[in-house]
């Protein structure tokens, strides 16, 4: 089902249908909400795919459990889900920090990148793309958490500033400030990787 055929009001209606025992509604909600939840979690967790999947699954489970008491019009389903993902990510990062496992702050070492099994252009392109994504993930991980959240929601998830404000529980002005500072920090962090980004020839 095309994702853009379901708007936010439909998500609330689908959740109500799910609460009444409609398994098809659960399928539609999963197809609609799981991809952004996973993407957001992945970027917030420095590209850790396995942990991001756990977070996305847990967030969806909380949505299923919240369905019976969901009051239509109180909150947008997608906004609510982003907030849950953000909270789960924060918990995981704090847990990591307690175990003294830092998630970011180190420069990407290109020598650590996986080597291509052969020299085919497709493999090389995928490796370059993976290295570029890894550089972005490390740069994002180096940002303060609130800035990272605002930048990811604005520039990678495509939310508007009022939507981000609703997710983060702050005003729109605070979102603008967090996003601007996050962009500056990210531009600085990615500066050394300008050649890797391949902008010179474009």
122 part of the interface to other proteins, by CB under 8 A? no
166 part of the interface to other proteins, by CB under 8 A? no
Pick the binder of other proteins from 14, 67, 86, 167 (CB under 8 A): 67
Distance CA 161, CA 158 (A): 9
144 part of the interface to other proteins, by CB under 8 A? no
Distance CA 29, CA 24 (A): 9
Site size with other proteins, rule: CB under 8 A: 49
Nearer to other proteins, 54 or 90 (CB): 54
Please count the residues of the chain. 202
Min dist. Cβ of residue 43 to other proteins (A) = 7
Among 99, 91, 112, smallest CA distance to 45 is for 91
Site for other proteins in 6-65 (CB under 8 A): 18-21, 23, 26-27, 29-31, 34-35, 38-39, 42-43, 49, 52-53, 56-57, 60-61, 64-65
Max CA distance (Å), the chain: 56
């Amino acid at each position: 089902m095309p994702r853009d055929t379901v708007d936010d009001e439909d998500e609330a209606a689908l959740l109500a249908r799910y609460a009444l025992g409609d398994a098809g509604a659960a399928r539609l909600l999963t197809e609609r909400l799981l991809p952004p939840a996973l993407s957001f979690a992945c970027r917030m967790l420095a590209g850790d795919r396995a942990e991001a999947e756990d977070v996305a699954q847990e967030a969806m489970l909380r949505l299923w459990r919240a369905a019976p008491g969901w009051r239509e019009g109180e909150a947008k389903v997608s906004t609510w889900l982003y907030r849950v993902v953000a909270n789960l990510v924060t918990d995981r990062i704090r847990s990591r920090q307690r175990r003294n496992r830092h998630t970011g702050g180190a420069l990407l070492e290109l020598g650590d990148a996986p080597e291509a099994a052969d020299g085919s252009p497709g493999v090389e392109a995928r490796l370059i793309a993976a290295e570029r994504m890894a550089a972005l993930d490390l740069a994002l991980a180096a940002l303060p958490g609130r800035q990272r959240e605002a930048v990811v929601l604005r520039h990678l998830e495509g939310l508007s500033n009022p939507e981000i404000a609703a997710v983060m529980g702050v005003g729109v002005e605070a979102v603008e400030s967090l996003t601007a500072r996050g962009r500056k920090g990210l531009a600085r962090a990615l500066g050394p990787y300008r050649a890797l980004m391949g902008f010179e020839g474009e």
